[in-house]
Every structure is written in C-alpha cells, then in structure tokens.
Chain A
Amino acid sequence: MKALTLKMPVRYAINTVLLALLLLAGSALLSAGVFGRAQTSVIMQIGVYIILAVSLNVATGYLGQLPLGHAGFMAVGAYAGAILWKALPEGSLSAVAGIIFGGITAAVFGLIIGIPALRLKGDYLAIITLGFGEIIRIAIVNLSGITGGAPGLKKIPKYSNFTLVYICVILTCVIIHMFMKSRHGRAILSIRENEIAAESCGVNTTYYKVMAFTASAFFAGIAGTLYAGNQGIIAPSEFGFLKSIDILVMVVLGGMGSMIGSIVSAAVLTALPLFLQSSLKGFNDYRMIIYSLLLILVMIFKPSGLFGTYDFSLSFLIEKLGVKKSAKGEKQDGAKA
C-alpha cells in the first residue's frame, strides 16, 4: 500500500490550519493562567532558541559551513532592535519595526563577514566568525554611549509575548523551508555535498554561500531582538562564545540538515537546563560537561544527529493517519508518524 500523498496546496492548507489551531490553543492556555510568569518566560526562550537553532542549521546543516559566532549575530540583532524599540513610541507597529531592524542589521553584518570569508574554501569561516563574535562583544562593551556598556542595556520595552514569538518561529521555519525546497535551496545543498561538482554544474557557489550565511544571520538577529524583548535587560556578557556553542550543540544534536531536529533539540536543551537548575543545585556548573558527554555519545551512536536529515511536516501526520484508516482490513502500513 502506497502512502497517501496529498497535493501541495492541500498540504499547505492543512499545515496553516494546524498551526493556527496551535497558536489559539497556546494563547488560550496562557491567558487562562495555566503557566506562571517564569514558565511563560521559558516558553518564550524556547521560541527564541528554536529560531537560533533553525537559522544556524541553514549555515551548518544545509550549507555545510561551521560558523562559531552565531551569538554575535544574536547580539547585533538584540542591541539594534532594542535601541530602536527604546527610540520609537510604544505600539505594536514599533515592535514589528524593531524586529525587522534587528534582523536586517544582523544580515548586514553577515554580508560584511560572509563575502570575504566565503570566497575562500576551507575552514576560514569558523575562524573569522569566532573572531567576529568576540569583537562584537567587546565593541558593545566599549560603545557604552549607545549600548549601555558592560552593565547592559536596561529598560527595554517587553514586547515579546507568546503570539509574537510564535509567529516569528513559524515564519522563520516556513520561510527557510520554502527557501530550501527551491532551486536556491538545492544549490546550497549541492555546495555542501560537493563544491567542485556544484561549480561544474554552473552553480555560483560564492553567491549561494553568502546568501545562506546572510539568511542565517538575519534570523539570528530576529531571535536576538525577541530575546531582548523577553528579558527587558541585555548585557554583552550573555552573548559570549559559549552561547554560540550552545546553539551549535542544539543543531548537531538534532541532526545537521534537519529542521525538526533543530526545533526539538532547541526546545529540550533550553527547557531542561532551566528546569534542572531550579531542582538540582549546582547543575549549571556541570552543564558544559553534560553537553560534551551528550555530544560524544551522539557522535558514537548516531553521528548524523538524533533526526539525521529527516524532515517533517504537520500534514505528514494527517497523511499517515489517512493511510491507517484507508488501510483497515488491508495490510497495515508499518511506518510510524
């Protein structure tokens, strides 16, 4: 029995409906007061880290490069967005403007770094982005007139709420998905697979590398702005090298090149430490050790990450259910959704 396949417009419609239902359910739960303030903040942080992991996955999983300065782009977005928010009068329009501004500023930085770094073959990008992350942090400390310096930027309007973060997460995932399932996305994948062969197929490799890297930076900037809008106060020390590594661990653990992998591992690795921190004393001191052990175990037992390159769509669930129903009496399809 062949799996039931739906036409693309139908799939899109189903996905849209399911996502809208999720949004309604989420905001209903929140307004009913099921979650406390701390838990709501955690949910928002999960959203922020999902955007960060999914966007890093574009550069790491799809393009096959190793940027080590994702927190740098997050910082650029956070500061750019927060400064604009503080300058603009309060309102939902300003909230959106700040997010877009944060994304675009980070994308500009991505472009500036990406163009020279990605013209070269090899691991230069890792080194350059590593330096970039540190430079940004130090620049923020020293530009205290604009950024508030080492103590941090305070009194940022708390625009981030569940609906806004949710919509940003969904838009990020949808845009990246549409992007990857096009000729542009295939070009990016072909560069990861074999750069020389991609060039000999006429794919402009430098152009697509810069495009993927800039897109990655753009969404990291958006995540940064949302982060600022959730915390209300941001300090440069939060955007250090370890933050970049945290995000990288999420991508590697979930499976490089798998969006659902990034989403799941970002959610787990954000919620779990926050939960353990409150229940287990001194957990934070051992967090990096646990991460390293986890990574070593994954590399030994499942080097492609938990989800490999497997990707997933909500309408897929419906298709599987459809198969189960129509296959009643016939041979059961063994595949699990």
Chain B
Amino acid sequence: MAQRHDPRLPILAERDLGKTPVIECKKLGIDFGGLTAVDDFNITVGQTEIAGLIGPNGAGKTTIFNLLTKVYLPTRGSMYLNGSDTRDMNTIAANRAGIARTFQNIRLFKELTVLENVLVGLHNKMSYKLPEAVLRLPSYWREERKTREKALDLLSIFDMQDLHGAKAGSLPYGSQRRLEIVRALATDPIILLLDEPAAGMNPSETGELMKNIIKIRDTFHIAVLLIEHDMHLVMNVCEVVGVLNYGRLIAKGSPKEIQDDPLVIEAYLGKKGET
C-alpha cells in the first residue's frame, strides 16, 4: 500500500483554498431507529480541494453522502455549504446551492439519450416557462440551442460528444459512470461528490479517471469529495483523506499520514496478534 503522493499535483499548502470552506460538517450524526450510523462527523473541504473518504464496507461512507446531499436529514450536528447553513435545505435546494453527486449503483435516466441526461442536469440553467415551450417562442429555441451546445461541450470532457444520441442504458459500464459525472457537472456545482467512481473499472480506465478527476478540478475550479476502495486512486489523487469505521472518523490527514496511522491499519487489517 506504500504509494507516494503524485508529484504532478500542486502541494496543498501552496494553493489558496479560499477563506470559507466549501463544506463544513460539525458533529454530524444520524440514527436509524436505535442504530447510530454516523456519529460525531467533522470534516472541512476547502475550495478546489480533492478529498477522499475511505473505510471498510458498512462504515457509513454512503450515508455521509446522503447526509451531505440531504437525502437523509441528520439527527445531530450541522453542515455548512459554502458558509451557509443547510438546515432548511432539501436535496433540490442543496443541489442548487452547489452540491452535485454521482451514485454508487449508477442512477442514470436509462431510457433517455446521453444528451438528454446532461440536459436534465442543465435543467435549472434554462429559464423559459411552459407557455414559451408550448408556443415554441424564440426564447425556447435560443435557450435550447445554447444549452445543447453546452451539454456537448461538457460531454467532450470525456470524449463522449459522439455518443450523444445513444440511450444512456445502452452504454458500457465505464461510460455510464463517466456520463453520471458529466450530468453532475452540468448542474454547475462547487463541490462534486463521487461515490466509488472507479468501481468496476479496469486499471487503465482507473488511470484515465484519475487524470480526469484532476482535470475537472482544474477546469471547473471545484472541490471533489470521493468515496473509493481503490487505494491507488485515493492515495494518488486525494490531498486529504478521512477514514471512517463504524460511523466514526478515526483518522484524517494527508495520504501519507493515513497510511502510517495505526488505527487505520487496525481497521483494515485487524489488531496485531489477532487471528
């Protein structure tokens, strides 16, 4: 597991991460009935920072994503998105405030085309009203054309612009994951949450994905928080890593620090002397 931090990345301390963190969680926690799924979760993600969240299965990583995107409402604690309290937000409001995500089990609009998937992501970037659409007024044509161009631009990040007419459900697995990222980017977020983006990808696809995550950060100037089991990806792309076990953050720091943390080694490999 000993991997060095990718030298291509600028060092965290040298970059201006902005004054207000993009996401700040304070003592966030959620119970499902009597079960505490996440407790005392504190994290800050700075602007344009790439952060990772790792941990064994069932540690609560996806639950945290659902808390951040307001799919679940926290039992305790608070969360700030770009400095503003998210207490009264729902999933839709959280997205409009700048949080976008992908899903562990891909949730594309399978029967729609690739282009239409991205256009749904751009839904709130259009402003024509229903009568304008039904009467096909010039504002409809103008906005539809502009948005379509923007969608094709976004698809070109992953070289998918030629696939725009294909049904999303017919794409190969890796392309579906990439399309989900494009759709999330289309909502113009300030932070992108990626839930196991490399799941099911082969090593060369993962390598491509790593480059693309950095490229996305650099072109869109957004923060990225990702959940991943592929340690190669996490250790090379993330600037900070949090380790979750049994719903609690047991370690936080640079990839190097995490690798040497005895608690993390224990969570992943078990205690010394145990069989």
The residues of A with any CB-CB pair to B shorter than 8 Å are 12, 175, 178-179, 182-187, 189-190, 192-194, 196-205, 211, 257, 309
Contact = CB atoms under 8 A, between A and B. Distances in A.
A190 B128 contact: no
Contacts of B111: 189, 192-193, 257, 309
Contacts of A185: 133
Given A196-B71, A202-B123, A205-B92, A184 B103 contact: no
Interface-central residue, B120, B126, B186, by most chain A CB under 10 Å: B120
Contacts of B103: 196-197, 200
Interface stretch (B38-46, B94-102, B213-221, B226-234): B94-102
B62 interface: no
Interface string B86-114: 00001110011000110100011111100
Contacts of B128: 182-183
A197 B133 contact: no
A200 B133 contact: no
Given A182-B128, A182-B144, A211-B130, 11 more contacts: A12-B136, A178-B134, A183-B144, A183-B147, A187-B120, A194-B110, A197-B107, A199-B92, A201-B120, A202-B123, A203-B92
A205 to B, nearest CB: 7
Given A193-B110, A194-B108, A203 B130 contact: no
Interface of B: 69, 71, 90-92, 95-96, 100-101, 103, 107-112, 116, 119-121, 123-124, 126, 128, 130, 133-136, 140, 144, 147, 183-184, 186-187
Contact of B133 (A12, A179, A189, A193): A179
Given A187-B123, A204-B92, A182 B140 contact: yes
A295 B135 CA distance: 37
Contacts of A197: 103, 107-109
A175 B131 CA distance: 10
B140 A186 contact: no
Contacts of A211: 130
B134 A179 contact: yes
A303 to B, nearest CB: 13
B119 A183 contact: yes
B101 A200 contact: yes
Given A178-B136, A183-B133, A184-B133, A201 B69 contact: no
A201 B112 contact: no
Contacts of B187: 201-202
A201 B133 contact: no
B112 A189 contact: yes
A183 B123 CA distance: 6
A83 B121 CA distance: 46
